[in-house]
Amino acid sequence: MNCFWAQGFEQTSVRDLAEQMGITGASLYNAFGDKRSLYRRAFVHYLAQTVRDRVARLEKLPPALAIRTFFDEIIERSVDDEQRRGCMLVNAALELAPYDRVLARSRPQREVLEGAANGALALLGTGE
């Protein structure tokens, strides 16, 4: 996941991935199929570890505090990230979604984005 997150899909080679994982390129292909399949798995893992966890945690807070906490966490994470990777979800949307119909229609990505958007709309509807 970290190779793709730091370098993006196109700039990450199978060699980079194999070296990071401590396996051969052939083993990578045997285990994951191809680079795109591994990317999709890494992307789903990223969503599960970062976006879904954050949304679930913030849903428990009062609306104004949830919004403030969301941005505070994003800023803190960005400032502390020496590699300046940004958000893998945003990176994927910019790099691949316009050209990759499967990724653009990715169910996990769509569910996370729709959930966050619906939550924001609900907050706006309460006037808080």
DSSP string, 60-110: TS-HHHHHHHHHHHHHHHHHH-TT----HHHHHHHHTTTT-HHHHT-HHHH
**What is the average pLDDT across 67-82?**
86
Helix, strand, coil percentages in the chain from 3-state DSSP, rounded to 5: 80, 0, 20
For the entire predicted model, the pTM comes to: 0.68
Q: Decide if pLDDT at 107 tops 60.
A: no
Please tell me the predicted confidence (pLDDT) of residue 102: 63
62 vs 96: CA distance, rounded Å: 35
44 vs 68: CA distance, rounded Å: 26
Of residues 6 and 120, the one with the higher pLDDT is 6
Q: From the centroid of its chain, how far is CA 45?
A: 8
Closest by alpha carbon to 92, among 75, 105, 80, 76?
Answer: 105
Q: Decide if pLDDT at 16 tops 90.
A: yes
16 vs 117: CA distance, rounded Å: 35
- Quick check: helix, strand or coil at residue 53? helix
